[in-house]
């Protein structure tokens, strides 16, 4: 049992957001008091800031994944070249041919991932 009035639980309620079924709808078929993420972003509210931060976080996660793969792919090359100092052609072969295809595939994956993140964000914001 609470000892003082400050220790009591407080129930916080809000007025209902639903409108009557026969209420007039705004342009593009939206309710007048409907929740709109795009408005939250345009008005730079805390919720809008959270939406934008979530997009930035997913983009950053994809970029960090690409950087990690690059470090794992390119990082061991100096050790490989130091282990075989007389293999000049091997160095050109690795740098010119063996490294080019994975870099192109990695760049392709990153661009597709970033575009998909942006598409998902637009769908969220435009209520599709």
Q: Write down the domain spans for the chain.
A: 38-125
Per the model's pLDDT, the better-predicted residue between 33 and 9 turns out to be 9
Confidence band (pLDDT; 50, 70, 90) for 37? low
Q: What's the average model confidence in pLDDT over 36-49?
A: 69
Looking at per-residue pLDDT, the higher value among 26 and 11 belongs to 11
pTM, whole model, 2 decimals? 0.62
Can you count the helices (H) and strands (E) in the chain?
Answer: 5, 0
The encoded tokens of residue 16 equal 């209902």
Q: What CA–CA distance (Å, rounded) separates 58 from 43? A: 22
């Amino acid at each position: 049992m609470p000892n003082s009035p400050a220790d009591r639980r407080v129930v916080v309620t809000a007025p209902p957001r639903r409108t009557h079924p026969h209420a007039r709808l705004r342009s593009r078929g939206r309710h007048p008091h409907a929740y709109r993420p795009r408005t939250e972003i345009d008005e730079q509210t805390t919720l809008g800031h959270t939406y934008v931060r979530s997009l930035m976080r997913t983009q950053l996660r994809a970029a960090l994944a690409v950087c990690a793969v690059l470090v794992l792919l390119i990082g061991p090359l100096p050790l490989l070249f130091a282990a075989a100092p007389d293999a000049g052609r091997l160095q050109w072969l690795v740098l010119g041919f063996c490294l080019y295809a994975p870099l192109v595939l990695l760049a392709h994956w990153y661009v597709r991932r970033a575009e998909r993140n942006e598409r998902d964000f637009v769908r969220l914001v435009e209520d599709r």
